[in-house]
Amino acid sequence: MSQANTFDAIVIGSGISGGWAAKELCEKGLKTLVLERGRNVEHKKDYPTMVSNPWDMPHRNQIPLADRLENPVVNRCYAFKEDTEHFFVKDSEHPYLQEKPFDWVRGYQVGGKSLIWARQTQRWSKYDFEGPGRDGFAVDWPIRYDDIAPWYSYVERFVGVSGNYDGVETLPDGEFLPAWEMNCVEKEIRDRILASYQDRHVMIGRCAHLTQPQEHHLKMGRGQCMARNQCYRGCPFGAYFSSNAATLPAAAATGNLTIRPDSVVHSIIYDDKEEKVTGVRVVDRETKSVSEYFAKVIFLNASALNSNLILLNSTSNRFPNGLGNDSGILGKYVAFHNYRGNISASFEGWEDKYYFGRRPTAVMMPNFRNVKKQEMDFLRGYMTFYTAGRGGWGGRRDLPFGADFKEQNSVPGPWHVFMMMQGETIPKESNFVSLSPNEKDAWGIPLLQVNVDYDDNDEKILKDFFEQGSEMLSKAGCKDIRTSDSKQAPGLDIHEMGGVRMGRDPESSLLNGWNQMHACKNVFVTDGACMTSTGTQNPSITYMALTARAADYAVKQLKAGNI
């Protein structure tokens, strides 16, 4: 065991949860190695398009047809364009097997998808943690809201989350910076919805943007959000939260951090003689050489499906079916968010009003279905988001050149409204990932097979959203209401979760209430793979809170000699 390759802790992955694991472990005194399979990306230095104009790019920020045809999955992602393509994985370079259609969107670089996430940050409520156990789907969460609430507060203060103190039980308040503003039509719609329903709440979205940086943000070189709407390029102001701008610099400041990019993790090493996990096996991305790194504690944060892949590929005499997989459920009960439902409408009036800036969040409505008890003919429910805006700028093409063309293309059009759903899917054994028995990638690792699909519950939720959303918009005064089913495959939500779920019983879960593997006490999984159910909220702030909580526990257990 090489001393140069030995650390106190190893973190696999440098994205949203991996960055938090690195920060917490380093700040608690552990010499920590972060393994990232992609290239190195330094804050600002490696954001090549952060201040580019459309005319600075060869294809004016569009992806050429040949590239779209070669990489159909990533091209379906809303954030993938010429100015951001360097932060996304190309399908052709990293294949996987779709037993059923699944759009797996990935970002392999230091910082991972924290550079390209949508930055929406809502806490779970007590009802989300109670739901599976109460309603009898999945397994009961081993924790409750009160267990994680202090950790939500801890990470929110560091991240910088904008929002209002709304006092809504189904979407708890947090530690907030000043909120973004709704525009006049959004407020009108809000007021009419609240007047028409007793069980609905409407509030401005909460997002990881520094609307008013605090002293600790400024000391890190982070600044105020300029509402540029160019976040996916990498933010030169550090105004939105990313590993590169926040957690990794904090970890580096301790002197305890080592980052090794270009390190494709093959497997976690279980020593049958010592009867414990001792380290990680790595294939160099460029040279294909194999190395091993050793540590007392391992945090697995490779992103949900890759974490499943690594554990499934980590076999030994003790664990022939994957690390910690005594129960046989590793890779099973994968879930996601249902984004298929969209509603559009027009809104008359307010033609003398407009709005300023490019706000990085929408108006949101927390779930109102099956919250406290089972009420519908489907399980769980959905969050709803809406925005109102004015298009028409430069949209007239049916005019002759001249003053009339210039004048009419300088006037905003009528108000339009867009509404979407974020539905909770129910974890099922039939939704799973596995390893290909025959096909391997360029690094000798089996390809991941994905077998994940919608079910009848998802169709019922979609139908209810169409009915309720259309009714709400009608009561709010909207016209020309049109529903649309995108029919997009699972995965394009980029909220895949599960496969290594938390639970109380080792027979039905892989992790305990501290994100610790039941069968391998020095291995912790705190990315989306750990989720027992999906809730209806954007999940990233929950991953961050779970990671900070697990790191605190791991260090205490390590110092006590229990792992």
* CA gap 122, 493 in Å, rounded: 16
Alpha-carbon torsion angle 330, 333, 336, 340, nearest 10 = 140
**Token pair for 181:** 């503003």
* CA gap 528, 335 in Å, rounded: 10
Q: Are 263 and 280 in contact (CB under 8 A)?
A: no
pLDDT tens readout for residues 39-53: 999 999 999 999 999
Q: How far is CA 511 from CA 32, 349, 400, 498, 529, in A?
A: 22, 54, 66, 11, 10
pLDDT tens for each residue of the chain, 563 residues long = 678 899 999 999 999 999 999 999 999 999 999 999 999 999 999 999 999 999 999 999 999 999 999 999 999 999 999 999 999 999 989 999 999 999 999 999 999 999 999 999 999 999 999 999 999 999 999 999 999 999 999 999 999 999 999 999 999 999 999 999 999 999 999 999 999 999 999 999 999 999 999 999 999 999 999 999 999 999 999 999 999 999 999 999 999 999 999 999 999 999 999 999 999 999 999 999 999 999 999 999 999 999 999 999 999 999 999 999 999 999 999 999 999 999 999 999 999 999 988 999 999 999 999 999 999 999 999 999 999 999 877 777 788 888 888 888 888 999 999 999 999 999 999 999 999 999 999 999 999 999 999 999 999 999 999 999 999 999 999 999 999 999 999 999 999 999 999 999 999 999 999 999 999 999 999 999 999 999 999 999 999 999 999 999 999 999 999 99
Name which of 205, 193, 133, 177 is nearest 532 in CA terms: 133
Q: Are 329 and 498 in contact (CB under 8 A)?
A: no
